[in-house]
Structure 1
């Protein structure tokens, strides 16, 4: 039957085909021909299966010869993912290995022991090949491996902390008020001191290893991060303790250099003075004057006082309106005055 609207015709044909297929399936017949029952574990009968397979092979050969994919890659991936999910769920519900579907899964795992061992062997081989090629984490996704490692470390530390053990070795109880035992703490402090000394000698930030300027121990981002996360009470207590220790040893309380009994060495004292309220910025120096003739551009001077400028004008017989007097007075001279 012809339809004026092609879309309506296609919709009617689809509905008719659906009803016919449902009726044949309900009768136990092949939904394609409706003449024979379907083959075992198949939805079509044997002849219809053969016809469809032959047509599929011919279509695949034609597309392969034309250099085209057999199916839409996007739809094929979606279909395969959905099929794999259904298959894995069915095998998991039956208590079978989700990979091979033949043996029961290992205790607490979704795969059987042979499949797990195969996967471990493949992972080891892939890791060895990546490591030989110089790739981090054997060529695996570095971010994913780091995230997994951090998550595993957090779980391990939480379990050890709940058990009242050192979070590093898990063998001895931690010190009072801490999370690590004495040997682990000493090892960590020794390693941190070696790392600090090496980076300090190389002129790098002692926290991240980036280059620093003017002999500082930390770069600006690390210094800001440390200051933001540091307790003011602990910082002040440590500063007072360090001040007392250096003062007792006759060292500079700022840098630790010998200061001959003074609280600061000359360099640190100068820095402290410049940063104090007594330092007013640009110093005030004695001004000097230069006389320039506007007609000829000739310069006279420089002179150390205004009286010398007046003598120059009188001696050279210059009119004050025909010359320009320049002064290099300090900018701070106009901001200061005697009371």
Structure 2
């Protein structure tokens, strides 16, 4: 039936289509053909579903050949995600691999062993290609990889602490009061000493490697961090232990150089003396002035300021050309 206003005709057709669809759904029939019942977990029957899928595939192929995107890509992606989620949940409930849906899932995993091996091989190939291109972590998300690595390291450390093993090698028990064994501790200390010496020689911060000034061992940010997290009791205990070890070995307690039985070597002793209360050097006083008459040699003063010198010349009625003002 033709309508004078096309929009009115479209609205009535939509309303008629809606009523027909509701009637067919209420009758348990396919809303598209109205002849057969819908397929399981579907709204349309199998033939109508196949026709629609074939038409969709043909349309997608045509658009792909023309270099055009699929119609409404956002809706298509959302639908694919929902469909994939439903499919994975159904396969997981059936105890099958969520990727292929054919083999049973491996113990404690959601995929079967063949699919897991395929994914591992793909990950290894991708990582190798990224490393060859010079990308960190093989091109993966660096922040995510670091977070995952830290979390894995924490879990491993907790497990080794619970079993009473060294947190670094996991083979030997740790030393008393520590978390690492003696060999691992020696290796770590040797590596830290080498790094400290290299950075110290290069004029870098021994903690973060940033440039430092005036021969300091730490940069300003690292110094603040160290001061905030320093334990005075632990530092004092370590200082007393180091003092006793060097004293027993006949070494300087400040720098560790040979001291011939003294507590400090000569340079360290002089440095300590110059920084003590017994040595302060020549004090610096404010300048003072003395007025000397050239004719008689008489001295006036001393005065603490030039203003006092001017007052002296005025009161004594002395000519500036006939006196000498001496400053110390």
Tell me if 1:19 matches 2:22.
yes
Tell me if 1:220 matches 2:220.
yes
CA distance in structure 1 between the aligned counterparts of 2:119 and 2:139, rounded to whole angstroms: 16
- Give the direction of change, closer, same or farther, for the CA distance of 1:51–1:109 in structure 2 (3 Å limit): closer
User: What is the CA-CA distance between 1:102 and the residue it aligns to?
Assistant: 1.1
Question: 1:236 maps to what in 2?
Answer: 236
Question: 1:109 maps to what in 2?
Answer: 109
Question: 2:79 maps to what in 1?
Answer: 79
User: What is the CA-CA distance between 1:194 and the residue it aligns to?
Assistant: 0.8
Mean Cα deviation higher: 70-79 or 140-149? 70-79
CA distance in structure 1 between the aligned counterparts of 2:173 and 2:134, rounded to whole angstroms: 39
- Give the direction of change, closer, same or farther, for the CA distance of 1:129–1:287 in structure 2 (3 Å limit): farther
SS at match of 1:97: coil
User: What is the CA-CA distance between 1:92 and the residue it aligns to?
Assistant: 0.5
Question: 2:148 maps to what in 1?
Answer: 148
User: What is the CA-CA distance between 1:213 and the residue it aligns to?
Assistant: 1.1
* Unaligned 5+ runs, structure 1: 289-303, 317-328, 330-339
- Give the direction of change, closer, same or farther, for the CA distance of 1:124–1:45 in structure 2 (3 Å limit): closer
User: What is the CA-CA distance between 1:76 and the residue it aligns to?
Assistant: 2.2
CA distance in structure 2 between the aligned counterparts of 1:240 and 1:112, rounded to whole angstroms: 61
CA distance in structure 1 between the aligned counterparts of 2:245 and 2:176, rounded to whole angstroms: 26
Q: Residues 161-207 of structure 1, C-alpha deviation per residue, up to 9 Å, x if partnerless?
A: 11111111111111111111111111111111111111111111111
TM-score, normalising length: structure 1: 0.69
Mean Cα deviation higher: 52-61 or 119-128? 52-61
What aligned pairs does 1:99-178 form with structure 2 within 5 A after superposition? Answer: 99-178=99-178
User: What is the CA-CA distance between 1:38 and the residue it aligns to?
Assistant: 5.8
Question: 1:193 maps to what in 2?
Answer: 193
TM-score, normalising length: structure 2: 0.71
CA distance in structure 2 between the aligned counterparts of 1:315 and 1:255, rounded to whole angstroms: 65
- Give the direction of change, closer, same or farther, for the CA distance of 1:260–1:31 in structure 2 (3 Å limit): closer
Question: 1:301 maps to what in 2?
Answer: none
Question: 2:180 maps to what in 1?
Answer: 180
Mean Cα deviation higher: 232-241 or 109-118? 232-241
- Give the direction of change, closer, same or farther, for the CA distance of 1:149–1:17 in structure 2 (3 Å limit): farther
- Give the direction of change, closer, same or farther, for the CA distance of 1:229–1:217 in structure 2 (3 Å limit): same
User: What is the CA-CA distance between 1:67 and the residue it aligns to?
Assistant: 5.7
CA distance in structure 2 between the aligned counterparts of 1:228 and 1:198, rounded to whole angstroms: 26
- Give the direction of change, closer, same or farther, for the CA distance of 1:17–1:68 in structure 2 (3 Å limit): farther
SS at match of 2:84: helix
- Give the direction of change, closer, same or farther, for the CA distance of 1:228–1:134 in structure 2 (3 Å limit): same
Question: 1:203 maps to what in 2?
Answer: 203
Mean Cα deviation higher: 111-120 or 14-23? 14-23
User: What is the CA-CA distance between 1:220 and the residue it aligns to?
Assistant: 1.6
Task: Compare relative contact order (CA 8 Å, sep 6+) and give the higher one, 1 or 2.
Answer: 1
What aligned pairs does 1:285-304 form with structure 2 within 5 A after superposition? Answer: 285-286=286-287
Q: Residues 231-276 of structure 1, C-alpha deviation per residue, up to 9 Å, x if partnerless?
A: 111122334455677789685848989976476544x766x57xx9
Alignment RMSD, CA only? 4.3
CA distance in structure 2 between the aligned counterparts of 1:105 and 1:134, rounded to whole angstroms: 36
Question: 1:44 maps to what in 2?
Answer: 45
- Give the direction of change, closer, same or farther, for the CA distance of 1:167–1:14 in structure 2 (3 Å limit): farther
CA distance in structure 2 between the aligned counterparts of 1:195 and 1:148, rounded to whole angstroms: 27
* Unaligned 5+ runs, structure 2: 290-304
